[in-house]
């Protein structure tokens, strides 16, 4: 997926979310990481790594939003955009989730035996 296609897909997703959620849709561009950081610090009793965990929990939000938008409004997306979205999500999100889990002291196991 090239960067121009990524930017165009993100713009489309932001517009769809803005239509449905108004000003709250701005969280796709700038999530309140300080809220995530505080929640992580409380939940997992972490202080030093809370910012890193919050980053890993939020950096892929636009990938998740695109996947959700395609699920809720598939008629707004071309087959190529759907393919780009799926690839972007699968290449980006799992690494961040894995890193967040490790930093929080909850390393996941491969319960589906995929490796």
pLDDT of residue 10: 85
**What's the pLDDT at 6?**
82
Question: Residue 21 falls within a domain, yes or no?
Answer: yes
pTM given for the model:
0.76
d(CA 57, CA 93): 9
Q: Pseudo-torsion of CA 7, 72, 79, 97, nearest 10°?
A: 60
Enclosing domain of residue 36? 3-103
By three-state DSSP, how is residue 40 classified? helix
Give whole-number Cα distances, 38 to 14, 30, 54, 85, 106, in Å.
26, 16, 9, 30, 18
Instruction: Assess if residue 111 is contained within a domain.
Output: no
Residue-level pLDDT at 90: 95
How many Å apart are CA 42 and CA 76, to the nearest integer?
Answer: 40
In a domain, 108, yes or no: no
Query: What's the mean pLDDT when you consider all of the chain?
Result: 85
For residue 1, what pLDDT is reported? 62
Asked whether residue 109 is assigned to any structural domain, the reply reads no
pLDDT tens figures, 16-64: 888 887 777 766 666 566 777 778 888 877 777 888 888 888 888 889 9
Q: What is the pLDDT of residue 31?
A: 58
Please give the pLDDT value at position 28: 61
Domain count, the chain: 1
Residue 75, in any domain of the structure: yes
Residue 13 falls within a domain, yes or no?
yes
- Mean pLDDT is lowest, of 29-33, 68-72, 89-93, 101-105, for 29-33
Residue 91 and residue 53: Cα distance in Å, rounded? Answer: 19
Written as six digits, the tokens of 91 are 């290449």
Domain membership of residue 115 (yes or no) is no
């Amino acid at each position: 997926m090239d960067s121009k296609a990524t930017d165009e897909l993100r713009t489309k997703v932001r517009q769809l979310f803005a239509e449905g959620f108004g000003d709250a849709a701005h969280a796709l561009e700038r999530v309140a990481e300080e809220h995530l950081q505080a929640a992580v610090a409380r939940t997992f009793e972490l202080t030093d790594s809370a910012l890193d965990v919050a980053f890993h929990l939020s950096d892929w939000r636009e990938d998740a939003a695109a996947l959700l938008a395609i699920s809720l409004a598939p008629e707004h997306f071309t087959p190529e955009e759907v393919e780009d979205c799926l690839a972007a999500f699968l290449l980006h999100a799992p690494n961040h989730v894995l890193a967040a889990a490790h930093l929080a002291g909850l390393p996941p196991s491969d319960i589906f035996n995929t490796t």
